[in-house]
Amino acid sequence: MEEGVLALDEDNRIQLSNRAAARLLGAGVETPGANVSAIAPGLVAALSSWRHHGYSLSEPVLQGEQGEYRVRFQTLDPERRRALAFLQDLGELRVQVQQEKLAGLGRLTASISHEIRNPLSAIVHAGQLLEEAEGLQDGDRRLIEIIRKHSGRLNGIVENVLQLSRRRSAERQSVALQAWLEEFRDSFAAQHHTEHFQLEIYVTPPTLVAPFDREHLHQILDNLCGNALRHGGPVRPRCIAIHARRSNQGQVELEVRDNGQGIAPETANRLFEPFFTTASAGTGLGLYLCRELCEANQAQLHHIPSSSGSCFRIRFGVAHREIA
C-alpha cells in the first residue's frame, strides 16, 4: 500500500509530492510551490502542532478529497522548518484489514462446517424419526418441537457465519440512488406483500450518486427494513422512510427510519455484536453482517439515537476516480 508523501518548506509550500498524495488531497498538491494551507487546512494545523511540541502527540486522522487519512511527520532539518508528511489512506487500510478478517473467517468456517453441521444433521434426523413414532404423548411432541425449533436456529447461525466467508469482494460502482431505491422499494414490497406497511424514499437532490456494490447495498437495506417490520412492536401501519442526502461535510448519507417502538439504550450499545439478539428466533448476525458489508465498501453503518422509532445511517465513502 503506497503512502502519500509531501515535502514542505518552512512556509508550508509543496516542494515535492507523489501520486498517492495527489489522490488523497487532490491534484493541487502536484503543483510545486503551492501552499498546502489552501489545499488541506487540517494538515497544516497538525504540522504546526508538531513543530510547536517537537513531537507528535498522536497521528491525527484527517479528511481528504478521497476519504480519511492518517498523517505523520519527519523533520528535514534540526529546526523542523522543513518536513516530510507521510499520508496513509485509511480506506485502503480498512480494505486490507477486511481481507485478513475474511481469510481468518474462512479457516473458522471450515471447522464449523465439519464440527457443528455433522452432529447437527444427526440431531435433526433423530428428531424427525422420533416425530414419526407411534403413540407419542403430547409432552413428547412438545419436546420434539423444541428440538426442531432450536436445531433450525442453530443451522441458521451456521449458514450466516458461512455466508460471511463465502461472500465475494465488493465491486463498488456509482449507484444513482433515486432510481435504485425505487427498484428496491418495489422489490421489498413484493417480497412482503402480506405485511401492512408504507415504504417512502426521499433523495435530495434526485441526482445523488453513491459508490457501493449494488448487491451488498440491497442486502443491507433488506435487513434494515426487514428488522423494522419484524421488531418494531405493535404500531400499525408500520412506516419506513429512507432518506438520502449530503452531510454538511459533503459525504453522501442514507438513513433508514421507522415509526416503531425504538431501541432501548442498553440494547443499542450491543447492536453490532455478533450473535447478540433480543429475538427468540434471531441469530444475532444480521446487523453485524451489514456493518461488515459497509466496511468492505469503505462505508460506515451506525445506529442513530432517536426520540421515536429507530434510525440507522450509512455514510458512504468517497468515490475514487476509477469507479464508473
- Spans of all domains in the chain: 4-91, 93-166, 173-315
Specify whether the CB–CB gap between 70 and 47 falls below 8 A. Answer: no
Q: Provide CB contacts within 8 A for 28, sequence distance 6+.
A: 34, 38, 39
Q: What is the overall mean pLDDT for the chain? A: 85
Instruction: Tell the residue number behind the cell numbers 442486502, with chain if given.
Output: 219
Note the pTM of the prediction, 2 decimals: 0.60
What is the model's pLDDT at position 168?
66
List, for residues 264-285, the tens digit of each pLDDT value. 888 888 888 877 777 766 667 7
CA dihedral for 201, 206, 212, 214, sign (positive or negative): positive
Rg (CA), the chain: 25
Specify whether the CB–CB gap between 87 and 5 falls below 8 A. Answer: yes
CATH of 93-166, one of 1.20.1740, 3.30.420, 1.10.760, 1.10.287: 1.10.287
Strand order in the sheet with 238-246: 197-203, 238-246, 252-258, 311-315, 300-303
CATH topology of domain 4-91: Beta-Lactamase (3.30.450)
**Is residue 188 very low, low, confident or very high in pLDDT (cuts 50, 70, 90)?**
very high
> Which CATH number describes the domain made up of 173-315?
3.30.565.10
Secondary structure of residue 168 in the 3-state scheme: coil
**Is residue 60 very low, low, confident or very high in pLDDT (cuts 50, 70, 90)?**
confident
Q: What percent of the chain stands above pLDDT 70?
A: 88
Q: Residue range 37-48: average pLDDT?
A: 90
Cell triple for 265: 439504550
The amino acid that residue 137 corresponds to is: Q
